[in-house]
Amino acid sequence: MVRASLALVALALLATFIVAGCGNDDSSEVEAVRAATAAEAVEMLEARAVVDVRTLAEYAAGHVAGAVNIDVEASDFAERVAELDPEAPYLLYCRSGRRSAIAAEIMAEAGFTDIIDAGGLDPLAEAGAPIE
């Protein structure tokens, strides 16, 4: 009787581990994207590829020095992102942080592994980011 109970407990534990191991683990996506304060982001500018995900007109009106413009709302966003190295570190920003969050999610789903969402341009400029 005791052996049968132990066998059932062992079987239940084994089933628990198997089911837990088969779950959908989206933690890689979550870990791929991190938010940063403007001050933190400014300190990272030289070590990351900086991507401005606003429109070309917004970019032309002023952007972080050295930033590349890839409009997240443009029809060719996915194609342009596919040309980038998914292993490289990126820092994204937009006007308010809404579009940079969307772009970061898309890039994480595409396999990018190191993305900083820096939010909006104005806080970056106020924290000392060079603007051109």
Residue 98: which of 73, 78, 75 has the closest Cα? 73
Count up the domains in the chain and report the number. Answer: 1
- 11 lies in some domain: no
Q: What is the pLDDT of residue 10?
A: 36
The answer to whether 124 and 65 have CB atoms below 8 angstroms apart is: no
Helices and strands in the chain: count of H runs, count of E runs = 7, 5
- 7 lies in some domain: no
Owning domain of residue 110: 27-126
Q: Please, what's the b/e burial string for 77-105 (b: 16 or more CB within 10 A of its CB; e: otherwise)?
A: beeebeebebeeebbbbbbebebbbbbbb
Give the tens place of pLDDT for each residue, 9-61: 333 333 333 333 444 444 444 489 999 999 999 999 999 999 999 999 999 99
Q: What is the CATH number of the domain that holds 112?
A: 3.40.250.10
Q: What is the pLDDT of residue 6?
A: 33
Give the tens place of pLDDT for each residue, 60-108: 999 999 999 999 999 999 999 999 999 999 999 999 999 999 999 999 9
Q: What is the pLDDT of residue 7?
A: 37
Q: What is the pLDDT of residue 36?
A: 97
Q: What is the pLDDT of residue 58?
A: 98
The residue that leads in pLDDT, 26 or 110, is 110
Token pair for residue 35?
């938010």
Q: What is the pLDDT of residue 31?
A: 82
- 12 lies in some domain: no
Q: What is the pLDDT of residue 9?
A: 33
Check whether 119 has a pLDDT greater than 60. Answer: yes
Concatenate the DSSP letters of all residues of 49-110 into one string.
EEEE-S-HHHHHH--BTTPEE--TTSTTHHHHHHTS-TTS-EEEEESSSHHHHHHHHHHHHT
